[in-house]
Amino acid sequence: MSLSVKLITYPTLLLLMMTSSSCTTLSYYQQSISGHLEIIRKSKPIAQVLTENGIAPELRKNLQQAIAIRKYASAVLLLPDNSSYSSYVDLGRQHVLWNIVATPEFSLEPLSWCYLIVGCLTYRGYFSKAEAAIHAQGLKDEGYDVHIAGVTAYSTLGWFADPVINTMLQYDSAFLARVIFHELAHQLVYFADDTEFNEAFADMIAEYGVRRWLQDNNLTDDLAEFEQTLAREKEFDRLVFKYKAELEILYQSNQDADHMRRQKQAVFEKMIHDFEQSRSSWPGADDYKMWFNSGVNNAKLALVLTYKDLVPAFNEMLIWHGNDLRQFYQAVTRLADCDKTSRRQFLASNLLKYEC
């Protein structure tokens, strides 16, 4: 698998979109390229922004931090060294785009949509929240469980120089580093048609990278806060995986639809009750209150599972390679020759033998 950065011009990309026989509609591609062109058009080199009069002190600090994080990503984490995250754009909104996730009524397996260049993904992104809502409603009308998730950043996989976006600067520097490391990891390793693998790999690299970055810079207080964030996430993940297991048993039971529908709702109600009961002993549980209060369905669980299900296996794989990132990346890259089933089998094995 080649890890080189690819270059493509906008006219070429537009021509590919307009002549594609993909099941994805032309109107979807039009909104995608329009949204991305807006970002590129409004982007400015960070070096230029830092020289502008009247730049807010907080923005200056964040952009200087982004430069340092970007350098660290390539120098230490061995992530692609290119012009991504050397520019900045303020879109004036909280999310850069909105992803739709949908599952059948009695399944945690998300639908997938296929696109040019990137292959099939288990989510569908819109640069307009209103457009996302319209498409989501159509899926709901067809009987699917649907979730719309706001997104702070996305990767063009090295086809374009991705900028730092204002949506990435809403929280602390650890969050910014995590986003940059995650998106650059997609540029390093990306297998078409395997969203779960790609997202878990990027999530694991981001988590590992932030921890190491904070340690290397002696940011002790920030590291302690980051570890608390991870502890909260792992408690949340524990709940998701617990009720994933219950739902999978239910969905494989071959009971009639009305009974399964009632039982499904009962499982979600039990999950919410479990969350409420654990809040007193779960520091930071209120961070997830909105997630539960807005309702729980298959699609919301599926999105969490997409990012988290394979992370422990990748962590074990890195440890097995003695925390040597170069060897780890080479081992992951070799899995390009495997199909999804073989990749899962390898990650679930003792990692001693590579076979496809």
The pLDDT tens digits of the residues spanning 219-228 come to: 999 999 999 9
Whole-number pLDDT of residue 13 = 41
For the stretch 54-88, what's the b/e string if a residue is b when 16 or more beta carbons lie within 10 angstroms of its beta carbon?
eeeeebeebbebbeebbebbeeebebbeeebbbbb
* Residue owning tokens 């397996």: 109
Domain limits for position 324: 311-348
Question: End of a domain among 171, 194, 217?
Answer: 194
Q: Kindly state whether residue 335 falls inside one of the protein's structural domains.
A: yes
Local confidence band at 1 (pLDDT 50, 70, 90 cut-offs): very low
Domain's final residue, options 147, 178, 194:
194
21 assigned to some structural domain: yes
- Domain match, 175 and 321 both: no
pLDDT of residue 45: 98
> Which ranges constitute the DSSP H helices of 98-194?
129-141, 173-188
Residue 138 counted as domain residue: yes
Distance CA 319, CA 313 (A): 10
Domain boundary among 145, 172, 194: 194
Single pTM value for the model: 0.91
Let me know if residue 257 belongs to a domain. Answer: no
104 inside domain: yes
Q: Give residue 18's pLDDT band: very low, low, confident or very high (50, 70, 90).
A: very low
Cα dist from 162 to 15, 70, 202, 255, whole Å: 21, 12, 16, 48
Q: Are residues 181 and 329 in the same domain?
A: no
Is residue 343 situated within a structural domain?
yes
Note whether residue 331 is domain-resident.
yes
Could you tell me the end-to-end alpha-carbon distance of the chain, in angstroms, rounded to an integer? 15
Q: How far apart are CA 141 and CA 146, in angstroms?
A: 10
178 and 322 assigned to the same domain: no
Across residues 16-24, what is the average pLDDT? 43
Given this model, what pLDDT does residue 324 score? Answer: 97
Same domain flag for 37 and 166: yes
- pLDDT at position 20, please? 43
Q: Is the pLDDT of residue 213 over 90?
A: yes
Domain count, the chain: 2
As a whole number of angstroms, the distance between CA 137 and CA 37 comes to 27
Assess if residue 112 is contained within a domain.
yes
Q: Are residues 317 and 190 in the same domain?
A: no
Asked which of 102-106, 111-115, 149-153 is least confident by mean pLDDT, the reply is: 111-115
Q: Which residue has 């981001």 as its token pair?
A: 206
Is the pLDDT at 26 greater than 60? The verdict is: yes
